[in-house]
Chains A and B, each alone.
Chain A
Amino acid sequence: MEEKIKLSPDSFEALPKAEELDNEKIAAPSLTFVQDAWRRLKMNKGAFVSLWIIVLMIVVAFGSSFFIDHASLVKSAPNYANLPAKIPGVPINGLNGKLKVSGQWVDEYKQNNIPSGKYFVLGTDYLGRSLAERIIYGTKVSLIVALVATFFDLTIGVAYGIISGWKGGRVDNVMQRIIEIISSVPSLVIVVLMLLVLKPGMTSIIAAIAISSWTTMARMIRAETLQLKSQEYVLAARSLGESAPKIAWKHLVPNLSSIIIIQTMYTIPTAIFFEAFLSFIGIGISAPETSLGVLLNDGQKNFQFLPYQMWYPAIVLCVLMIAFNLLGDGLRDAFDPKTRR
C-alpha cells in the first residue's frame, strides 16, 4: 500500500535570491595571462627577490647620473690612492679603513694622513678615485651595453624568425641555412672580428654582441611561428584579408611574448658576461671609460695586495648575473608552468 507523505508548503523555505546566484559562480577570480604569470612569479621567492635586486640596481645605476658625472669620475687624486673601505661606525676589520699588510691590520687612513672626516665607503682605486662611484658608474655602462645589445638582438631575432616561419618554403630554407652558417662560427670570433674592424668602444661592443647572438632567438621564434601559423585565429585573420605585417604584430607577437621575454632574460646576462669578458682581456671598453669588466681588470692587477679592488666589482657582477639567471628561470616557470619541475 502506498503511503502518502504529506508535505505542507511551509516545510519548504525559499533561499534568498543572492545565494542562489552564488551557486553558479566560479570562485577564483579570472586572471589574464599576465596576471596569472605574475601570481606564479610572486610565489617563486628567488625570482621575486632577484626582480627587486635588478630593479634596485637599475634605479641606483641610472639614478646616479644626476650625482656622478664622467668628468669627476676620471679626475685622479693621488694622495687618496689605494685606500681601503671605511664606513664610520663599523668596527669590522676591512671596513674600518684598515688593510692587511703582511699579516698586520694597518690603518691606511692614518698612515696617509687623510683628514679625519674623509672616508670612502668602498675605498679608492690606484688613482684615488672612489671605488663606490666607479662601480655604480661601471654598472651603468655594463647595463646599457647589455640592454641595448639585447634590444637589437630581440628586434632582429623576432623579425627574422617571424619572416622565416611565416614565408616558409624556399625563403625559409635559405634563411635557415644562413642562420646555420652564422651559428657555426663561435660568437666570440664574430665579436672579436667586429671589435677589430669597428673602433673599440661601447657602440662596437653593442653591435658585436647584437650581431653574434640573435640566431638563438630567431630559431625559437621561427619554430613557434610555424605552429601559430596554422591556428584558426590566424586563418580567420587571413581570410578576412588582414595584411601579413598586421597579423604578425596583432596575433603572432602577443602569442610569442612569453618566449621573447624568457629568451631576453637569458640574453641579458650573456651580454653582461661578454662585455665584462672583452673588457677584462683588454679589447672591449678601456680606460678612461669604466665598466664592470674594466674595474675587474684594474682590480686583478693589484689583487695580491689590495684584494678589495677586485672583490667589490666581482660581487656586483656576480649578483647581477645570478639575479638575471634566477629571474629568467622564474619567468620561464611562470609563463609555462608545464616545464616547472
Chain B
Amino acid sequence: MRKYLLKRVFYMLLTLFLVATITFFLMKLMPGTPYSNQEKMTPQQIKIMNEQYGLNKPVWLQYLIYLGGMLHGDLGTSFQYSNQPVSYLISSRIGASAQLGLQAMIFGVLVGIIIGSFAAINRNTWIDTLCTILSIIGKSVPNFVLAVLLQFYIALKLGWFPIADWGGFSYTVLPTIALGVGPLAETARFIRTGMVDVLNSDYIELARAKGLTKFGIVYHHALRNSLIPLVTLIGPYTVALMTGSMVIENIFSIPGIGEQFVKSITTNDYPTIMGVTMLFSAGLVVVILLTDIVYGIIDPRIRLSGNGD
C-alpha cells in the first residue's frame, strides 16, 4: 500500500511538473503581447514594463524563477487587475467555484441516484422509459444552453431566483442545476444499469425470500452494491464541472475561477492562465488519486497494486 501510494504521488508530481513546463513554454510561443496599447508606448516604457515583470531575462531563467516561485505558492503577478498576485486572485475566487462545484456534484449525484434506482425498480415500464429519455436529454443538452434558458424563464420571467450575481444560497440554485444536470444524467444511467444487474443476483432473491420489504431490499442491498462503481465517475465529473464552471460562471456572472480563466484568456494574462491551468490540473490529479484510494478501501476486491494497471 505504501509503495503504491509513493509511486502514485511521484507520478502526480511528475504530471504537475510537466504541465507547468509545457504551459510555460506554450505561453512563450503565444502571439500577442500582454500590453493592450503597445503601439502607443515608447520603447523606454516597454523596457521598464519588461523589467518590472521580468520579461527581459532569458527564457530559461524566467522558467527557473517561475518553477521556484511555484514551490513557494507564488504564481507570479497578474498582468491585468492592477498587479495583484495570481495566488491572491485565485484564493479570493476559489470559494465561490468550490461551493458551486460541490453543490452541483451533490445535487447531480443524489438526484441521479434517485432517478436511476427508480428506473431500475420499474424496469421496462413507462417510468423506466421516461427516466431514460430524461437522462438522454440531460446528457445531450449543453449546460450553457440550459443555463441561459433557466436564467431567462425561471429567474427573469417567473422571478423565483436572482438573475445573476453572487450572494446568499438563492443565487446558487440555478447555476447549481445547470452545472449538475450533466452528472445527474450520467449517474442516473450508471445507477440504472448497475442496479438492474444487482436486482437479478441471488442475494436479492434471498432477501426477497426472507420477506424484506421492497424498500428494504432496494435500500439495504441493491443500492449499496450499485453505488460502489459510482466512485470511479467522480474524476470525470470533476472535469465536467471545471469545464462547465467556465461558461456557467460567465452566464450568471459569478466571481469564480472559471470566469477568471475566460477573462484571462481574452486579455492575454499569461500568469493567470498558467496559475489556473496548474490549479485545474492539480485538482484533477488529487481527485483521481483520492478516488482510487477510496475505491480500494470500500471495495476490497479491487486491490491496489504497485504496477498501476
User: Does any Cβ of B come within 8 Å of A43's Cβ?
Assistant: no
Interfacial chain A residues near B97, Cβ < 8 Å? none
User: Does any Cβ of A come within 8 Å of B42's Cβ?
Assistant: no
Q: Bound complex: CA of A286 vs CA of B251, how far in Å?
A: 18
Pick the contact of A197 from B11, B30, B243, B309 — CB < 8 Å? B30
Q: Taking A321-B140, A325-B136 as contacts, is the C-beta distance between A186 and B284 under 8 angstroms? A: yes
User: Does any Cβ of A come within 8 Å of B277's Cβ?
Assistant: yes
Q: Are B196 and A341 in contact (CB under 8 A)?
A: yes
Pick out which of these stretches binds chain B: A83-91, A187-195, A253-261: A187-195
User: Does any Cβ of A come within 8 Å of B19's Cβ?
Assistant: yes
Q: Are A180 and B11 in contact (CB under 8 A)?
A: yes
Which parts of B1-29 form the interface with A (CB within 8 Å)?
11-12, 14-15, 18-19, 22-23, 26-27, 29
User: Does any Cβ of B come within 8 Å of A307's Cβ?
Assistant: yes
User: Does any Cβ of A come within 8 Å of B111's Cβ?
Assistant: no
Which parts of A241-297 form the interface with B (CB within 8 Å)?
269, 273, 276-277, 280-283, 296
Q: Are A281 and B246 in contact (CB under 8 A)?
A: yes
Residue of B nearest to A196 (CB): B30
Q: Bound complex: CA of A283 vs CA of B250, how far in Å?
A: 13
Interfacial chain B residues near A304, Cβ < 8 Å? 152, 156
Q: Bound complex: CA of A177 vs CA of B12, how far in Å?
A: 11
User: Does any Cβ of A come within 8 Å of B239's Cβ?
Assistant: yes
User: Does any Cβ of B come within 8 Å of A135's Cβ?
Assistant: no
Interface residues of A (CB under 8 A from B): 176-177, 180-181, 184-189, 192-193, 196-197, 199, 269, 273, 276-277, 280-283, 296, 300, 303-304, 307, 310, 314, 317-318, 321-322, 325-326, 329, 341
Q: Are A318 and B152 in contact (CB under 8 A)?
A: no
User: Does any Cβ of A come within 8 Å of B44's Cβ?
Assistant: no
Q: Are A186 and B281 in contact (CB under 8 A)?
A: yes
Q: Are A303 and B148 in contact (CB under 8 A)?
A: yes
Pick the contact of A314 from B19, B145, B308 — CB < 8 Å? B145
Q: Taking A277-B144, A322-B137, A322-B140 as contacts, is the C-beta distance between A186 and B152 under 8 angstroms? A: no
Tell me which of A176, A188, A269, A329 has the highest count of chain B C-beta atoms within 10 A of its own C-beta: A188
Pick the contact of A185 from B148, B261, B284, B309 — CB < 8 Å? B284
Residue of A nearest to B120 (CB): A341
Q: Are B243 and A186 in contact (CB under 8 A)?
A: yes
CB distance from A311 to the nearest CB of B (A): 9
CB distance from B196 to the nearest CB of A (A): 5
What are 7 inter-chain pairs, A to B, with CB distance below 8 A? A181-B11, A188-B243, A189-B280, A197-B30, A303-B148, A325-B139, A329-B136
Q: Are B136 and A326 in contact (CB under 8 A)?
A: yes
User: Does any Cβ of A come within 8 Å of B262's Cβ?
Assistant: yes
Pick the contact of B145 from A199, A307, A318 — CB < 8 Å? A318
Q: Bound complex: CA of A300 vs CA of B288, how far in Å?
A: 35
Q: Taking A184-B281, A186-B281 as contacts, is the C-beta distance between A196 and B26 under 8 angstroms? A: yes
Q: Are A317 and B26 in contact (CB under 8 A)?
A: no
Contact residues of B: prevailing secondary structure = helix
Q: Bound complex: CA of A123 vs CA of B136, how far in Å?
A: 30
Pick the contact of A177 from B11, B26, B29, B266 — CB < 8 Å? B11
CB distance from B254 to the nearest CB of A (A): 14
Q: Are A192 and B148 in contact (CB under 8 A)?
A: no
Q: Are A277 and B18 in contact (CB under 8 A)?
A: no
Pick the contact of B266 from A187, A188, A199, A283 — CB < 8 Å? A283
A-B residue pairs, 7 tightest by C-beta? A321-B140, A322-B140, A188-B243, A181-B15, A314-B145, A184-B285, A186-B239
Interfacial chain A residues near B11, Cβ < 8 Å? 177, 180-181
Pick the contact of B140 from A184, A269, A296, A341 — CB < 8 Å? A269
Interfacial chain B residues near A325, Cβ < 8 Å? 136, 139-140
Which parts of B244-295 form the interface with A (CB within 8 Å)?
246-247, 250, 261-262, 265-266, 273, 277, 280-281, 284-285, 288
User: Does any Cβ of A come within 8 Å of B54's Cβ?
Assistant: no
Q: Bound complex: CA of A214 vs CA of B193, how far in Å?
A: 26
User: Does any Cβ of A come within 8 Å of B31's Cβ?
Assistant: yes
Q: Bound complex: CA of A292 vs CA of B111, how far in Å?
A: 30
Q: Are A187 and B145 in contact (CB under 8 A)?
A: no
CB distance from A314 to the nearest CB of B (A): 5
Q: Are B247 and A277 in contact (CB under 8 A)?
A: yes
Pick the contact of B142 from A189, A282, A321, A326 — CB < 8 Å? A321
Tell me which of A192, A281, A282 has the highest count of chain B C-beta atoms within 10 A of its own C-beta: A281
User: Does any Cβ of A come within 8 Å of B61's Cβ?
Assistant: no
Q: Bound complex: CA of A321 vs CA of B140, how far in Å?
A: 5
Interfacial chain A residues near B156, Cβ < 8 Å? 304
Residue of B nearest to A195 (CB): B265
Given contacts A177-B11, A188-B239, A318-B145, 10 further A-B contacts (CB under 8 A): A180-B15, A187-B239, A192-B261, A196-B30, A277-B144, A283-B266, A304-B156, A318-B141, A321-B140, A325-B139
